[in-house]
Amino acid sequence: MTMDDIIDFVEGLGDVLTLRPAPGDGSPEISWGDTFFYYSPDRIVPDRTQPFATIVTKNYPGDESSGLDRAGAFRVNIHAGKEAFIEATGRAPREQGVADLDAGAPDTVIAHPVYGSLAWLAVIDPGARTGEVTRELLCRAHTMARSRYERRSESTPG
């Protein structure tokens, strides 16, 4: 799977706002080249929520264990939720040892090296082994983001 394959897939889920920070758009330089997916039917960046998935193309400060400084490497980060996290790792998000796999292993579903305790999963360079599960996890994350959006919309006076 390429980054473009993933972006096309996620955008095809519906009501997805895709942000691709670049020079000159006011975004922080460190985010340039990365991709952020929000559930947003109104195409406005939600002010009270995080993306449901991201694609990062480089190491961030404090998040170097995936070795994204390799040419062409990228990592898909997915807010999977507790149930999917347990299915993928065999452990609850807050249990010790969820990050004991090689955080730089390509084509492997792992607990996110920084946000695993918050039920985020990650896949570096998804390929033949993880392509299908990556798509399934992205669908689940999109569904959960849609549910959160709908709950917030119903509880907002208008």
Model confidence pLDDT, tens digit, residues 6-65: 999 999 999 999 999 999 999 999 999 999 999 999 999 988 899 999 999 999 999 999
Can you give the pLDDT at residue 47? 85
- Structural domain for 28, as ranges: 3-155
**d(Cα 78, Cα 120) in Å, to the nearest integer?**
5
Can you give the pLDDT at residue 96? 65
Q: Please count the structural domains in the chain.
A: 1
What does the DSSP 8-state code read for residue 30?
A: G
What is the pTM for the complete model shown? 0.93
Can you give the pLDDT at residue 24? 96
DSSP H or E segment with residue 130: none
Can you give the pLDDT at residue 145? 97
pLDDT tens digits, residue range 123-148? 999 999 999 999 999 999 999 999 99
Distances (CA, A) of 95 to 17, 73, 88, 100, 142: 32, 28, 14, 11, 25
Can you give the pLDDT at residue 100? 55
Can you give the pLDDT at residue 156? 65
DSSP H or E segment with residue 141: helix 131-155
pLDDT tens digits, residue range 83-129? 999 999 999 999 866 455 688 889 999 999 999 999 999 999 999 99
122 contacts 66 by C-beta, under 8 angstroms: yes
**d(Cα 140, Cα 105) in Å, to the nearest integer?**
23
